[in-house]
């Protein structure tokens, strides 16, 4: 197998059969040693966080596959911290799709003149460009089309999928007494038909979950979600 990309929290390998393998590392995003799912730099290393993120990712992707939602997920090997997936072509150099239920984080920073902290957002979806240099700017469907990143039809499918998947994750958390504030997804085009599918991961590193007024850290989230 061949290393094709070294990411901040995962490495990507191409397997002999053409599928990809994602290796989950113990690095998490944040700033000055403080974990922040919205950050664009590796903030700290936490032993075991890679496997923990993979366990939760496996849980959610297997659920989504069973529900017939298109994803890249094939299998996971927890011991090796790896996940085998279908190769996707990302939109441009990659986009992020954020589904928001409560106003916190960058939404609040951007719209602070109007937004109240934790105000209800009903699964509002935002798309940003993966562009660390420019701090992942927010982008509209029109700009995405003008810049040849995706068509408006693709945008609609992507937003619908994000809403649907967000609801599924939210209701799984709710079953465990947790509240989902926001979650970040990645999508890509898969297969000969270039159908839009969920890629990357779903773990504590991509969402903000709360128990009452307490933010639940990724490790704790995995424990709560995966213990019966």
Ligand X SMILES: Nc1ncnc2c1ncn2[C@@H]1O[C@H](COP(=O)(O)OP(=O)(O)OP(=O)(O)O)[C@@H](O)[C@H]1O
Asked if 189 is part of the footprint of ligand X (rule: CB under 6 A), the reply reads no
Burial of residue 198 (CB within 10 Å: 0-12, 13-18, 19+) is buried
Asked if 203 is part of the footprint of ligand X (rule: CB under 6 A), the reply reads no
Asked if 186 is part of the footprint of ligand X (rule: CB under 6 A), the reply reads yes
Strands 88-90 and 179-190, by their bridges, are antiparallel
Q: Which stretch binds ligand X (CB under 6 A): 62-70, 80-88, 161-169, 175-183?
A: 80-88
Asked if 30 is part of the footprint of ligand X (rule: CB under 6 A), the reply reads no
- Rounded distance, CA 141 to CA 122, Å? 20
- Rounded distance, CA 144 to CA 126, Å? 12
Residue in 37, 53, 188, 218 binding ligand X, rule: CB under 6 A: 188
Asked if 10 is part of the footprint of ligand X (rule: CB under 6 A), the reply reads yes
Asked if 191 is part of the footprint of ligand X (rule: CB under 6 A), the reply reads no
Q: Which stretch binds ligand X (CB under 6 A): 7-15, 52-60, 62-70, 147-155?
A: 7-15
Which H or E run contains 59? helix 49-66
Nearer residue to ligand X within complex by CB, 14 or 172: 14
User: From the CB of 56, what's the least distance to ligand X, in Å?
Assistant: 14
181, 101 Cβ separation under 8 angstroms: yes
Q: Which stretch binds ligand X (CB under 6 A): 30-38, 82-90, 111-119, 159-167?
A: 82-90
Quickly list H helices, 67-205.
105-111, 141-146, 152-175
Asked if 8 is part of the footprint of ligand X (rule: CB under 6 A), the reply reads yes
State the residue for tokens 């209701």.
171
Interior/surface letters 54-83, b for 16+ CB within 10 angstroms, e for the rest: bbbbbbbbebbeeeeebbbbeebeeeebbb
Asked if 92 is part of the footprint of ligand X (rule: CB under 6 A), the reply reads no
- Under DSSP, the state recorded for 60 is H
Residue in 1, 3, 7, 117 binding ligand X, rule: CB under 6 A: 7
Asked if 136 is part of the footprint of ligand X (rule: CB under 6 A), the reply reads no
Contact footprint for ligand X (CB under 6 A): 5, 7-10, 12, 20, 72, 85-88, 90, 94, 130, 132, 186, 188, 199-200
């Amino acid at each position: 197998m061949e290393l094709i990309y070294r990411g901040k929290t995962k490495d990507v390998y191409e397997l002999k059969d053409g599928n990809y393998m994602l290796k989950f590392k113990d690095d998490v995003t944040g700033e000055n040693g403080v974990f922040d799912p919205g950050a664009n730099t590796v903030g700290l290393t936490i032993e075991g966080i890679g496997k923990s993120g993979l366990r939760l990712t496996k849980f959610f992707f297997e659920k989504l596959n069973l529900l017939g939602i298109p994803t890249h997920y094939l299998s996971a090997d927890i011991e090796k911290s790896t996940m085998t997936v279908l190769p996707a072509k990302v939109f441009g150099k990659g986009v992020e799709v954020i589904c928001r239920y409560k106003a916190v984080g960058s939404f609040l920073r951007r719209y602070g003149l109007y937004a109240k902290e934790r105000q209800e957002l009903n699964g509002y979806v935002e798309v940003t460009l993966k562009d660390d240099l420019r701090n992942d700017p927010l982008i509209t469907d029109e700009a995405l089309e003008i810049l040849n990143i995706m068509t408006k039809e693709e945008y609609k499918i992507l937003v619908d999928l994000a809403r649907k998947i967000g609801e599924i994750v939210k209701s799984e958390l709710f079953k465990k007494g947790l509240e989902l504030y926001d979650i970040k997804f990645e999508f890509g085009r898969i297969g000969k038909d270039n159908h839009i599918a969920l890629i990357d991961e779903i773990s504590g590193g991509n969402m903000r979950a709360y128990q009452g007024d307490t933010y639940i850290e990724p490790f704790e989230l995995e424990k709560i979600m995966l213990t019966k």
